[in-house]
Chains A and B, each alone.
Chain A
Amino acid sequence: KNEVEQSPQNLTAQEGEFITINCSYSVGISALHWLQQHPGGGIVSLFMLSSGKKKHGRLIATINIQEKHSSLHITASHPRDSAVYICAALPSGGGADGLTFGKGTHLIIQP
């Protein structure tokens, strides 16, 4: 069974700081998702990647397939980035029930 671990569990930072959230998984995967859950509860898909790096605005997601590790970076962090960030991994050859979710990283950006 694929184990997905996120670190840190909680992170408090000052506005403007560079943020890194880590995700590691235990088996080979075909896709890695990064999701954002706002305090109101809604969940939004940020990235889906299987190799390399993706960038959207101030958010950057990277993945190292050999090391079974992905990172989500936030540059010039802002209080509106405060949310829970969740990674989820789909094992290679995984079916529709194969997606395993991490427990999330609770990020607070203070003004």
Chain B
Amino acid sequence: NAGVTQTPKFQVLKTGQSMTLQCAQDMNHEYMSWYRQDPGMGLRLIHYSVGAGITDQGEVPNGYNVSRSTTEDFPLRLLSAAPSQTSVYFCASSYLGSSSYNSPLHFGNGTRLTVT
């Protein structure tokens, strides 16, 4: 049981380049989300999804796109990378269940992205 698999682990981009961060989970979780972690700040929500075909914006969505074509996968796309997007990115998933949104979160191992 792999849990949440996030790739790549490290990435360096030049300003203006695009890339996709991959996230896959094998726990049949309905809820998936992307966070960024910056020094001195708590984790901030970028985008989230409550099921295949359903996505919504979080606190800091600008410059990022997501899609959820399957339950398992939730890729995060940077359309035109900017230095302000230098950060550590985490994908997370959880079971929604009967008490929506208060189930334990399962995190990927993170992607350290540097934009020069």
Contact = CB atoms under 8 A, between A and B. Distances in A.
B53 interface: no
Interface string B72-104: 000000000000000010101000000111111
Interface string A34-63: 010000111111001010000000000000
B7 interface: no
Interface in B53-85: 56-59
A33 B109 CA distance: 18
Interface of B: 31, 33, 40-45, 48, 50, 56-59, 88, 90, 92, 99-107, 109-110, 112
A8 interface: no
A48 B56 CA distance: 24
A40 B110 CA distance: 10
B37 to A, nearest CB: 9
Interface string A93-111: 0111111111110000000
Given A43-B90, A103-B42, A96 B31 contact: yes
B107 A42 contact: yes
Contact of A33 (B57, B59, B99, B104): B104
Nearest to A1: B59
A88 interface: yes
A42 B43 contact: no
A48 B102 contact: yes
